[in-house]
Every structure is written in C-alpha cells, then in structure tokens.
Structure 1
C-alpha cells in the first residue's frame, strides 16, 4: 500500500498546531515549566472536548450502519469518505482544544510557582531587614568601650565629657569613706543645684566628684563649708592617650621605629614637629608572643599625635603596614578582682575566689566549682552577680571601662 490511505490522507498525520496567537510553550524567564509539566494531568476534560467526542461517536455509528447494509456502491463509498474526513477533522479539533487547555494549565501553574517563590523571597527579605534593624539598634546602644573591646571600631569616642575635682582630707590617716561622708554632710546638692554625675574613692583618702557642668565645680570650690572643713580641693588631671601599633618588626630598635613613624606618617603633615614628636611619644610597653618576627608597641602620646595616627588607621614602618588603634585595656587584680590595679599593688591580704566570690581561697581551691559561677567584683559591691568574674557584660567591668576612658585627655576627639 502506498503512503496514502483509503481516504487519500497521508499515513503520517502531522501534529495539530497550537491555536493562533498562542505560543506552544512560551513562559517568562525563570518560570519553572518543567516542574509545572510534571504536575499537569494527562487528560483534561472540558465541555468543548466532550462535545467533539459525542460528534465523533455519532459519525462512527453511522459508518457502522452503512457497512452493515451489504455491498457498497459509489454513493456509499463517497459517504464513508466524507464521514471519515469529518471524524478526522473532529479529532484534529479535539487535539487543538486539549493542547490549548493543557498549555493554559501549565502557564497558570508556572505563574503560581513564580508567585510562590516571590512570596518566599519577600518574606526572607523582610526577616533579613528586621534582623539588620535589630542589630543596628543593638550596636547603637553599645558603649564605645564595648566597641573597642570587640574590635569593631579602632577609634574611641568618649561619652559626653564631665568635669571633676579631687578632694583630699587634711589628716592623711582619714580614709576615702570618711572623706565621702564628710562631704555629703557638708554639701546639699539640692541647695546648690548641682548636677553630680558620680562620686568615687581614690587613693590618699580622697574622692573625685564628677559633674555635668564646669559651673557646678565652681560652686563646690566656692563653698564656705568645704573651705572651713580643712578639706583640700584640687583640679583633676587626665591621663595621656595610649595607642597600640600592631605588627612592628622586632629587628628594629625603639629609636628606629619612632623615626620611621615620624618620617613615613607625620613629616608630610607636620614637617617641623620632629623634636616635638620625639618628646611627646613614649613607649609604655611591648606585647606579643616571644620568638616572633613582630610585636605590638603600646605608646603613650599627646592627643594631637594620637589623632593624626588614628585617623590614618595604619602606620607605615619601614616595609611594614601596621594597624593602629586606641589602647584601652583595663587592668583587673587577680587577688581581689577589682579593676584599676594589679595584684602587685593590692591591699587585700587574702585572695578572693574568682568562681564563687568568697574570700580566703583561690579558684583552684574553690569547693564550689560544680556550682554556677558568681562574679566576685559584683558581689563585693552587693550587685547581681549571676555571671562569671570578668565577663564582658559585667556591669562592674563596663563601669570601670567607662571611668578609665573618660579619665583620658582626648581633647574633644
């Protein structure tokens, strides 16, 4: 038999084309079509498709009736030919309708998937935004001491500066507590309208009073009660800033390092300040592990030199680029666990345990090591102590850091 069948049609029936104006599988970029195709059903039943199936059944039934009548004449053959063409046309239309419906379903499912993905992305972006905002709020609430401690900032920005004076007793046998009680009995802040920020004890039996305004200090100095009490009032002097230069080559002498710091970092800005620079910079100490090719220089300097070097963020020394930052490391005594002095200068005769906070034994001899740790520093001041001694979030440590940094003369830096 030739390539044509009895009804003059090719044995290979071409696939029905998609409806005009409707691309076969056109989707938007990024649309998950493959996933949509896998979920699409094999048969789509619609009213239109059911109508064409019914028509096909009628035509085939009529063909069967004619065939059963007996011998076929020319008219019958023509009729069969016409009816068969009608059936084939109906099947073609059915295929077109089926394809159109299925493609619509695929496109709809792809759009649903895309919208779902976009919704998920939108939700994730919103959660990320909330997280960033919360983190930004937390960082804004952090003190500058915390930022220096965690290394997030190499520059210290002191809090609102306060003014302070030191008051010492005439009798050197008096304690700081005696001086504090005497001042509180003599001076009534509400009468002088003082804005006192704090009062802390110092050595030699004295106390330091910090106020919001310099006018408050003048009121204290002019107080007749203080003048007649025999107490000595002095202006406090602030410490010079300290900076740390990281990674300084150990094969260079101190003089060579200072010479490179000036020539490579300051000479272009202040060429006439060499002598002033050499006089204003002092090596406090070095830090770092032994037997390494580099170490850290901790320098004590003037506020002007500190500002110039800190603004550069790096100091160039010979062939080395060294990070530079403010040095605000706080000393803690491992005998009494108070801040501001070392065990060498501690007045306590018995150790205080850094684990349980009790006096009379050290950490290694503590009988309560199985119990939760308590902060020895906060216990001494009768404050909540449900944290480890020296913890970064310890209120006593934060206050000590704040006092230390505010005691340094940054000259408005």
Structure 2
C-alpha cells in the first residue's frame, strides 16, 4: 500500500481531525487524498484507538484497491472511495470525542481527589482543634503536683475566678448546715434572678456562695431578708500565692538569700520597686528538703505581682547559683477521713475511714476486703461513682477540690 494512499492516515493519528465537519479531499492522480486541517488540536490517542484506526484504514484500503482493480466503472469506484472516506472521517471524529470525554473524566477525577484531600485535611484539623481544646481544659485544672509529674508547665494556670461572699450566722453555735438551710429558706434565686454557681461550707458555721456575676452578689447583700435575719455578710478574701525556689544553698542566711533575690533579679527589672516594698511583699513560709544536703528549697508567700515577675523568669540567680522557680500548691488530704482541705491533726472524725473499701471503723492495714477492687472513700462519702482508688488523679472530688483551692488564691492580683 503506497504512502499516498487515501486511507493511509496512521502517521497522523496523533493529530486528529477537527470534531466538526469532514476533512477536505483532493484528487491526486485519480485517487482521493485527505488534506489535514491547518490548526487541528493536539490530542493524544491511546494505543488501543491507534490500533483500531490502523486496522480500519487497512480494511478500507483493501476495499479501495479491489475496487480500483475490478471491472467497475468510474462512478462506482468513486462511490466506494467516497463511502470509505466518510466512514474514516466518522471514526476520526469518534476518536476525538472519546479523547475529549477521557480528558474531562481525568479532570473530574483530579478535582474529586483534590476535594477528598481537602476534606480529609479539614477533618484532621477539626480533630486536632478538639484535641488541643481538651488538652488546654485538662491543663487548666491540673494542680502543681500534677504539673511536676508531667513536666508540662512550671506555672499554675488560674481557674476562672468566680464572685463569692461568705455568710456567717449570728449565733456562733450554729453549724454551716444550719446557715445553709436558713439562707435557702430566706432567698429565692428565681425571684432575684441569681446565677448561683455553688454553695459550700466553711469554718465558724459560715457558707460561701459563688456566682457568675458580681451583680448577683450586690443583690444578695441588698436583700432585706438577709439583713433582717441577723446573718453577717462579708466579702471573701483570697490568700497570697506561694512559690518554691529549688536548690538554694544552705550555707546562706535568709537575709542573704532575700538580698540576692532582690539585687540580682528584681532591682534592674523593676526600678520603681524599692527594697522596702519588695521585702514587705515576700515572706518565708518554710523550707523543705532533706537534711545534711548542700541545698534546700525556699517556699515564699508573696503578692501576685511579685509571684508573676519571678515565675516568668523561670530561674532566679542567688549568689553563684541559678535556681528554678515554680508555683507551690499543696492540696491537703486527711488520711483519717480522706476529705480534702485539712490534715488528720484537725479532723473531727473519731473513727478512721478505710482508703481501700471506703468503710468506716478500720484503717487500710486492717481492711478485710483488700483482695477486692479498691473504692474511693471520698466519692463514697458524697454518694458518687467510686470505682477508682482513693486519691486517684481522675477522682472528681479531688479535681473539684483542686479547682476550689486554686480559686482561693489571688493569682491575678485583683
């Protein structure tokens, strides 16, 4: 089959004819020849389409050769060539349309993949956000001891400070429960539209009432029912925060230590803070550490401003030593009744409560149920789920006690 054959288009399958109309034809030496369009689009054909077109060209070429060699008149031969040309033109258009559909399919698939990746990324970011929010919420409720164990932070994150007042009975013989009952009988929160966050007992028969808004406290103070009842209403006062300075040399006197803290760490940073003001803002609470060591720990009680300044430095310089500084909080748990906020020395219970089974009348060493799973004695007392050990970090009573303790300290300097 000659290279000038009208249907020998295999060499041009990578350049398909335009989709609209049919290719123009010229007669060369009595044989129709297809003329390629000047600006045909470059469309890459698949191997199978190339093979199909090549086979069709071959068959149509054989038909034309038979027609040319046979005893047909010119009109019949021209008719066969025209029909063959028409068939090949239609096939070429079909190939172009197939390639267009294929390209659209690939583009659509690429868009689907892109959208899928974006959706996966969005889901991952959402999960990461939730994880970070949960982590922040957990860290905000951690005590200092928890932070030391995990090593995540050297400073306590104060909880959201609630507005609160303390109400004491006129009769000092009354208990906190009596005071609480009297208040609840006198005050109707729905009438005053109060947002009471909680009520808890305190010493001397008092009750602390916490609210979300300070306006609620003013309503309580102005309540005529409280004023006429003889109850004494006072604002709650928060304790000063405490910090611990680790690794203070024991061969230095307390005065030398305080002088170094001021001169080496405070004087240059706070030029307006005089030595007298600083000394009146800090007080040694106590020292800790093992005896016969070259260093000890200083626990200082200080104002919120001084605490914030020293904590931000993370380390302070004392003479030739660099000492880490941390917040110091100590959540006391009574090992007689297992409640938080007091020690066994000041416990009012006369009998011990077992820290393993939660029953009263015996201690942990005497517990007859030590082979059974432990129960939280604190949660049992408050009739809460107790399927965990007493003092467990996840104990809800312990967490609430930690929050209350941190809320009782003036970390903000308000």
* TM bracket (short chain): 0.5 to 0.7
Contact 2:168 2:206 (C-alpha < 8 Å) held by counterparts: yes
Single out whichever of 374-383 and 47-56 deviates more from structure 2: 47-56
What's the CA shift string for 1:38-70, capped at 9, x where partnerless? 999999999999999999999999999999999
Distance 2:310 2:389 in 1: 36
Contact 1:176 1:205 (C-alpha < 8 Å) held by counterparts: yes
Contact 1:246 1:324 (C-alpha < 8 Å) held by counterparts: yes
Contact 2:283 2:301 (C-alpha < 8 Å) held by counterparts: yes
Shift of 1:151: 3.7
Shift of 1:244: 1.0
What's the CA shift string for 1:246-298, capped at 9, x where partnerless? 11112212111111111110010224531111122111111222222222111
Distance 1:209 1:371 in 2: 40
Distance 1:23 1:260 in 2: 98
Contact 1:7 1:81 (C-alpha < 8 Å) held by counterparts: no
Shift of 1:377: 0.9
SS in 1 for 2:27: coil
SS in 1 for 2:26: coil
Single out whichever of 41-50 and 26-35 deviates more from structure 2: 26-35
Shift of 1:173: 1.0
Contact 1:37 1:106 (C-alpha < 8 Å) held by counterparts: no
SS in 1 for 2:139: helix
Single out whichever of 315-324 and 145-154 deviates more from structure 2: 145-154
Contact 1:172 1:205 (C-alpha < 8 Å) held by counterparts: yes
What's the CA shift string for 1:342-386, capped at 9, x where partnerless? 111111111111111111111111111111111111111111111
Question: Structure 1's 114 and 181: CA in aligned 2 closer, same or farther, altered over 3 A?
Answer: closer
Question: Structure 1's 361 and 63: CA in aligned 2 closer, same or farther, altered over 3 A?
Answer: same
Q: How many residues align?
A: 413
Contact 2:331 2:402 (C-alpha < 8 Å) held by counterparts: yes
What's the CA shift string for 1:212-241, capped at 9, x where partnerless? 111111100110111111111111111011
RMSD: 10.6
Runs of 4+ aligned structure 1 residues displaced above 6 Å come to: 1-138, 140-145
Distance 1:239 1:356 in 2: 35
In structure 1, list runs of 5 or more residues that go unmatched: none
- 1:196 matched to 2:217: no
Contact 2:164 2:236 (C-alpha < 8 Å) held by counterparts: yes
Contact 1:240 1:301 (C-alpha < 8 Å) held by counterparts: yes
What's the CA shift string for 1:137-166, capped at 9, x where partnerless? 866887899557644222222222211111
Shift of 1:107: 27
Contact 2:141 2:159 (C-alpha < 8 Å) held by counterparts: no
Distance 1:243 1:23 in 2: 92
The residue number in structure 2 matching 1:83 is 83
Single out whichever of 266-275 and 2-11 deviates more from structure 2: 2-11
In structure 2, list runs of 5 or more residues that go unmatched: none
Question: Structure 1's 57 and 63: CA in aligned 2 closer, same or farther, altered over 3 A?
Answer: same
Distance 1:8 1:216 in 2: 96
- 1:110 matched to 2:79: no
What's the CA shift string for 1:50-93, capped at 9, x where partnerless? 99999999999999999999999999999999999999999999
Question: Structure 1's 292 and 358: CA in aligned 2 closer, same or farther, altered over 3 A?
Answer: same
Shift of 1:167: 0.4
Question: Structure 1's 47 and 155: CA in aligned 2 closer, same or farther, altered over 3 A?
Answer: closer
Distance 1:251 1:160 in 2: 41
Shift of 1:411: 2.5
Distance 1:365 1:359 in 2: 11
Contact 1:332 1:339 (C-alpha < 8 Å) held by counterparts: yes
